[in-house]
């Protein structure tokens, strides 16, 4: 991915070598241009404000540098002074630019480990019903489903009782009752008002199911460590790596999306005196299918996701002389910091494929309603 790179302005430093050697006094000065840092970021990509985009950024800067000072004293075998000098020098002249420094030993393994942890935990949170973050939408849909289950259960019970009553009547009684069956159902069982309520709730629930119900989860893992280096450019550093994985998924029911195409019959348009018992059962079938479609699956369809990995370090170097005869009067300081962030857009759930184990709509009332409706439908008579 193309990057935009901005270099910090180089700084000119002065190094001094002064004192006595080779039989005379000296005062020598040297000038070096040293880099102080670099910023790089990926070329921005347009975003709709809802979906993550690919992005990376790195900032490496020298926070502070002070020179180190080393005094050197030598005398010959006769005790005569050969050298007495003081060197004032900068570590940045002698070490590579900070943005070229590599990872500490084993750091790639630690990074992979916390990325795996974040992937696992983010997936676990998708499975956790309590982590569903769909607010009012899912609460309202579940409330509507519970109400529809209650009303349809009463409808199923009324239909079953009416069928049993009908089966006990003689031929003459059946003929007499046939002329007023709709009115009898309306008055004796309140079938009409129940059906109107069920239709309204069924239509409302189907409208709610047409709206995308999204759940989201995320998890952040961190690992920190400290490293000590030897050698003349003795370094002490503190590193941190952070990995965050986020998912947004859609609760999807393929069956529920087809309900609007069924053309359900509105009971308000039916002349109740012409309603046969078979219609009562037939009309209950779509209600049962609506409820069954909710509890049949809680499969998730990937909507969008990302994984962000961020590295930081705080690096301090101080000079340690490896030579005898040298005295470090000032260890100096080279203090450098780094921040790097990479955000990767995911095209699907990271393997293995995830499906929710818990259904947010499942409840005893809905399950009982489905059982009663199934019993009524399977045992129907014309």
Asked if pLDDT for residue 80 goes beyond 50, the answer is yes
Rounded to the nearest integer, the mean pLDDT of the chain is: 76
Contact (Cβ atoms closer than 8 angstroms) between residue 161 and residue 379: no
Contact (Cβ atoms closer than 8 angstroms) between residue 212 and residue 280: no
Predicted model pTM: 0.61
d(CA 302, CA 353): 10
164 CB contacts (<8 Å, ≥6 apart)?
none
Asked if pLDDT for residue 282 goes beyond 70, the answer is no
The single-letter DSSP state of residue 180 is: T
Full domain range(s) for residue 32: 3-378
What letters, b where the CB count within 10 A reaches 16 and e where it falls short, cover 74-84?
eeeeeeeeeee
Q: In sequence order, what DSSP letters do the residues of 326-357 get, joined into one string?
A: EEEEE--EEEEEEEEEEEEEESSPPSSP---S
What number is the average pLDDT over the span 171-181? 54
- SS3 assignment, position 164: helix
Q: Which residues sit opposite 318 in a β-bridge?
A: 234
Q: What is the pLDDT of residues 345-360, one digit of tens each?
A: 988 776 433 333 445 5
pLDDT for the residue numbered 10: 92
Instruction: Look at strands 37-42 and 55-66 and give their pairing.
Output: antiparallel
The domain total for the chain is 1
Q: What is the pLDDT of residues 217-239, one digit of tens each?
A: 889 999 999 999 888 888 899 99
Q: What is the pLDDT of residues 134-148, one digit of tens each?
A: 455 666 777 777 787
- SS3 assignment, position 169: coil
């Amino acid at each position: 991915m193309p990057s935009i790179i901005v270099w910090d302005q180089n700084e000119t430093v002065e190094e001094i070598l002064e004192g006595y050697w080779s039989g005379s006094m000296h005062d020598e000065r040297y000038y070096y241009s040293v880099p102080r840092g670099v910023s790089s970021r990926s070329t921005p990509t347009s975003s709709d404000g809802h979906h993550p985009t690919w992005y990376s950024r790195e900032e490496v800067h020298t926070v502070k540098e002070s020179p180190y000072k080393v005094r050197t004293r030598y005398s010959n075998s006769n005790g005569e002074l050969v050298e007495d000098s003081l060197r004032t020098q900068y570590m940045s002249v002698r070490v590579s630019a900070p943005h070229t420094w590599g990872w500490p030993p084993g750091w790639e393994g630690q990074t992979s480990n916390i990325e795996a942890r974040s992937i696992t935990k983010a997936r676990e949170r998708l499975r956790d019903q309590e982590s569903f973050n769909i607010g009012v939408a899912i609460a309202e849909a579940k409330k509507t489903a519970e109400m529809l289950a209650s009303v349809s259960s009463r409808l199923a019970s009324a239909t079953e009782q009416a069928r049993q009553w009908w089966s006990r009547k003689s031929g003459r009684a059946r003929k007499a009752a046939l002329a007023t069956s709709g009115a009898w159902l309306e008055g004796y069982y309140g079938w009409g008002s129940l059906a109107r309520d069920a239709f309204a709730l069924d239509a409302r629930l189907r409208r709610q199911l047409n709206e995308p119900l999204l759940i989201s989860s995320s998890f952040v893992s961190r690992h920190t460590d400290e490293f000590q280096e030897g050698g003349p450019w003795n370094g002490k550093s503190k590193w941190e790596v952070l990995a965050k994985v986020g998912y947004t998924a859609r609760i999807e029911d393929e069956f529920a999306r087809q309900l609007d195409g069924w053309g359900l019959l509105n009971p308000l348009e039916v002349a109740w005196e012409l309603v046969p018992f078979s219609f009562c059962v037939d009309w209950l079938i779509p209600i049962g299918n609506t409820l069954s479609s909710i509890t049949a699956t809680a499969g998730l369809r990937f909507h969008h996701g990302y994984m962000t990995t961020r590295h930081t370090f705080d690096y301090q170097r101080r000079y340690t002389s490896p030579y005898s005869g040298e005295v470090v009067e000032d260890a100096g300081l080279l203090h450098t910091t780094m921040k790097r962030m990479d955000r990767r857009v995911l095209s699907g759930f990271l393997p293995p494929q995830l499906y929710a184990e818990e259904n947010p709509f499942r409840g005893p009332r809905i399950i009982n309603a489905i059982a009663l409706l199934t019993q009524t439908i399977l045992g129907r008579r014309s």
